[in-house]
Amino acid sequence: MSEGPLSDLLVLDLTRALAGPHAAMMLGDLGARVIKIESPTGDDTRTWGPPFVGEGEDRESTYFLCANRNKESLTLDLKSEEDRDVLARLVERADVLMENFRPGVLDRLGFPTSRLHEINPGLVVLSITGFGHDGPEATRAGYDQIAQGEGGLMSLTGVDQPTKVGVPIADLLAGMNGAYGVLAALHERSRTGLGRVVRTSLLAGVVGVHAFQGTRWTVAGEVPGVSGAHHPSIAPYGLFSTGTAPIQIACGSEGLWRAFVAAFGLDPDDPRFATNPDRVAHRTELVAELEAIFAGNSAEHWLELLAAAGIPSGKVRSLDDVYTWDQTRSQGLLLEVEHASQGTLTLPGSPLRFDDNLHSGGRVRHEAPPTLGQHNDAIRAWLDT
């Protein structure tokens, strides 16, 4: 594996689906050695598709490929005493163990936290659950769309009815929160020599990003609803139709609004739009007036005019457009890896860069997601050294 800021760490990834695998992949991107421990039938996401690539025994789910780069795969049946012994030997050497079983499952497999820390007092354990490890609904299974709804995010998203975010955002947030919690615990371990348990959940991830929508309720007592494609507290800030394609505009300050008015010849003294609260109160009228103007020309025309006036704006890109965009590629957000059965694959990369390294993450070279059990022999041989 390539070096990186975390190249001295060994991470055991016992997680499945997306939240835990994403957390482990974040550490792998930064150079940690990540051993993904799978059941003999593999991570559930290996079967989540279409789309798939490859045929027959070589078939791979593109879903699995999104969250498991920079890992080795070891298959263990944790109901087997022999394989539980292998896990115990790995725990002795590990810095981090990640799991997203329902509360109590790891205990029943013979690895409660007390035993993990008996084997390795410095081990940092990350536990990701659906709704938290305790409380009245701790035993509920964690699935992203359910958490988006239960955590209130869907009540804020959409136009006419609640809508889920287009990616599994509850899973991804839980994974990101878990990764930074692990790094905090590792930093603490450098002083104390002791590991600890880091806990987070899909519910916590969703509630943790309510931001100003949360304080609308906790402080102001307002219950937000779906806000569609426009900001509930700033105007104009949202999606506008033009003569060809929609564009987005963000007038986030009075200075930007004044520049906008000057660029479009609007009446600066119109009392309906004099201040941001006025514009929010009259948003429907404002949007209608602006879209009447925008209907007279193309999206490209208006984006050029907005850019010249210094107004933040942009198009709505499809993913094929995003991944072929020069700016995306300039940021190292695409990786090419060599997969054991699929050959060269292009994957979305890490959002981090270090110094002037054009590669995303902290590695010089990234490794493809593993095939099921790809590293069984190598890992078992390493354990015997």
Pairwise CA distance, residues 170 & 175, whole Å: 9
The DSSP-derived string for 115-178 is: HHHHH-TT-EEEEEESS-SSSTTTTS---HHHHHHHTTHHHHS-SSS----SS-HHHHHHHHHH
Pairwise CA distance, residues 75 & 59, whole Å: 18
Pairwise CA distance, residues 250 & 239, whole Å: 9
Pairwise CA distance, residues 217 & 123, whole Å: 39
Catalytic residue (one of 117, 231, 282, 301): 231
At CA 297, angle to CA 293 and CA 303, rounded to 5?
90
The DSSP H or E segment spanning 12 is strand 10-13
* Residues in contact with 139: Cβ distance below 8 Å, sequence separation at least 6, in sequence order: 102, 103
The strand order across the sheet containing 313-315 reads 237-240, 247-250, 313-315
- Is residue 366 within 8 A of residue 349, CB to CB? The reply is yes
Strands 247-250 and 237-240: antiparallel
The DSSP H or E segment spanning 303 is helix 299-308
* Residues in contact with 187: Cβ distance below 8 Å, sequence separation at least 6, in sequence order: none
- Listed in order, strand segments (DSSP E) in 48-102 are 52-53, 60-61, 72-75, 96-99
Active site residue 231: yes
Catalytic annotation, residues: 231
